[in-house]
A and B are shown apart, each in its own frame.
Chain A
């Protein structure tokens, strides 16, 4: 079984991971950058590796190309055989990486809230359909409803429209008042204002409904229509696809496996992006949702610090506090409304993997109880989808459960862990 060695292992090649690996090399360290996707770029820069169209993507992807960083793709971290020895699942079998220090930059996923029909083919995450389209999913001539909450709905709709989809409408669950406040909070940040203006142009003529959310999706074998609720009114809209998401949640599984302290679902870090575990740095969305600018600046800081060059940089500190301001405004503006807790019926699935319904978990007081009682979260995704839902719907603590391997892995990965190593608990 192949074993690689490196000084700094960077997990996740999104903006944060790329900035960390490039900055670590610039500071004189050896870095290995890995991602489970086929290319670097993370979520926002999908498809930019082959054909960059965004200036910051071009800048950082060129920097990565020109840097001595050892970058490898198609590797998914599933476990640590021992501290400092990471185990990856790949199409060719297991790979191990021995490292001295770690930067975790695994980004965020979308929060999904179950409603009748949400498992039909043609229902996607909002960012989910966006990234599928960036990797060639055809939507030309298709009629798409984009719904849920947060600025990602606008970015997703713009991508889909540019790829030839007809956007039937964008439905944002939040009230007009909060949205206006969010727009105002962008004023001190010219970059964000410009982005907002560009999105408005790209989405000219698309109906934007506030105070509106999808109640159900219907169709035979795939989505054919949805019901959109606005106050007392419910309207049926025909469509070929529904792209729906309720904000983002950090992908903290790896950090939790290593024992990093969390607060509010995000990894706690100091001013050098160092977590509570010695030698483990974290950067980007896993430290709290704040978008690409925050991911880049935190990645630079983490990479330099992991390389031992942790001198304070005025530029980076200013950039970080500006992006933290945006992160707070984002969180305050797009609070999810109570009505979203009542979308599911008794027979709606909460766990898509194990087909566990809402009726089956009624009365359970925690994610753990629902797991033991009804197999909730025991399937392939390991509660990545239903955990974030249960947190909002029932106040369950999704952080409580994380077990290796972090994804269904080949037998070869297990063999390493169980027989070759003297398995120790991570610090």
Chain B
């Protein structure tokens, strides 16, 4: 098993440690916020456990929670959920 995976965030390529959550991968990639609220205020992971839905992103086309999903090779993550 390789210790890194390669994935894409908003179209750009990143390498992150294998086995981490998508939320953690976004932080590794330098993202502070991963979502905008109605008033455009920035939001990011908050509860860490699938309760608040603040960490939602689009993964390979469908809306998922970044804190519950693990990174996989060639994953396509988009911060427009």
| Choice from A37, A38, A91, A131 contacting B59 with Cβ under 8 Å | A91
| Among A121, A132, A353, contact of B48 (Cβ-Cβ < 8 Å) | A132
Dominant SS among interface residues on chain A:
loop
Q: Among the listed A137, A221, A352, A384, which residue makes an inter-chain contact with B33, where contact means beta carbons less than 8 Å apart?
A: A221
- List B contacts of A36 (CB < 8 A): 50, 68
B28 within 8 A of A: yes
Residue in chain B with minimal CB distance to A50: B19
Task: Evaluate contact between B23 and A137: CB separation under 8 angstroms.
Answer: yes
Interface SS majority for chain B: loop
Residues of B within 8 A of A132 (CB): 21, 23-24, 45, 48, 67
Q: Which residues of B have CB within 8 Å of A120?
A: 42
Q: Which residue of B lies closest to A128 (CB)?
A: B48
What is the distance, in angstroms, from A410's C-beta to the closest C-beta of chain B?
Answer: 7
Does B46 lie within 8 Å of A123, measured CB to CB? Answer: yes
> Contact between A222 and B33 (Cβ–Cβ < 8 Å)?
yes
- Name 10 interchain pairs, CB-CB below 8 A, sorted by A: A38-B21, A119-B43, A121-B32, A136-B25, A137-B20, A222-B42, A352-B54, A380-B56, A384-B51, A385-B52
Query: What does the 1/0 interface line of A393-416 toward B look like (CB < 8 Å)?
Result: 000000000000000101000000
By a CB distance below 8 angstroms, the chain A residues around B49 are 43, 109, 125, 127-128, 131
Top 6 nearest A-B pairs (CB, nearest first) are: A136-B20, A380-B53, A128-B48, A121-B44, A136-B24, A135-B21
Residues in A with CB closer than 8 Å to B44 are 121-122, 222
Q: Is the CB of A128 within 8 A of B24?
A: no
Choose from B24, B38, B70 the contact partner of A138 (Cβ within 8 Å): B24
Q: Is the CB of A381 within 8 A of B43?
A: no
Contact present for B62 and A122 (CB under 8 Å): no
B53 shortest CB reach to chain A, Å: 4
With a CB–CB cut-off of 8 A, which chain B residues contact A124?
A: 45-48
Q: Which residues from chain B contact A135 at a C-beta distance below 8 Å?
A: 20-21, 23-24, 48, 67
Contact with B along A106-141 (1 / 0, CB 8 A): 000110000000011111110111111001111000
B18 to chain A minimum Cβ distance, whole angstroms, is 9
Q: Which residues of B contact A50 (CB under 8 A)?
A: 19
A residues 73-124 in Cβ contact with B at 8 Å: 74, 76, 91, 109-110, 119-124
Does A366 count as interface, using CB distance less than 8 angstroms? no
Please give the number of chain B residues whose Cβ is less than 8 angstroms from any Cβ of chain A in the complex: 37
Tell me the bound Cα distance from A76 to B27 in angstroms.
25
Q: How far is the CB of A147 from chain B (nearest CB, A)?
A: 15
- Complex partner residue of A109 from B33, B43, B51, CB under 8 angstroms: B51
> Taking the complex as formed, is B64 at the interface, i.e. its CB lies under 8 A from any CB of chain A?
yes
Contact B21 A384 (CB under 8 A): no
A91 to B17, CA, bound (A): 22
In the complex, are the beta carbons of A125 and B47 less than 8 A apart? yes
Cα of A130 to Cα of B48 in the assembled complex, Å: 8
Asked whether A355 is an interface residue with its Cβ less than 8 Å from the other chain, the reply is yes
Closest to B81 in A: A380
A353 in complex: contacting residue of B23, B33, B53, CB < 8 Å? B53
Partner among B27, B47, B59 whose Cβ is within 8 Å of the Cβ of A128: B47
Q: Is the CB of A128 within 8 A of B46?
A: yes
Does B2 sit within 8 A of A, measured CB to CB? no
Q: Chain A residue with minimal CB distance to B56?
A: A380
Q: Which residues of B contact A74 (CB under 8 A)?
A: 68-69
Q: What residues of B have a CB within 8 angstroms of the CB of A38 in the complex?
A: 21, 68-70
A91 vs B68: C-alpha distance when bound (angstroms): 11
Q: Does chain A have a CB within 8 A of B12?
A: no
With A50-B19, A91-B64, A355-B37 as known contacts, state yes or no: A381 contacts B24, CB within 8 Å.
no
Task: Give every chain A residue within 8 A of B20 (Cβ-Cβ).
Answer: 135-137
Chain A positions within 8 Å of B41 at CB level:
119
Residue ID in chain A nearest B53 by CB atoms = A380
Q: Most chain-A Cβ atoms within 10 A of its Cβ — which of B23, B48, B54, B59?
A: B48
Chain A, Cβ-Cβ closest to B54: A352
Nearest A residue to B38 via CB reads A355
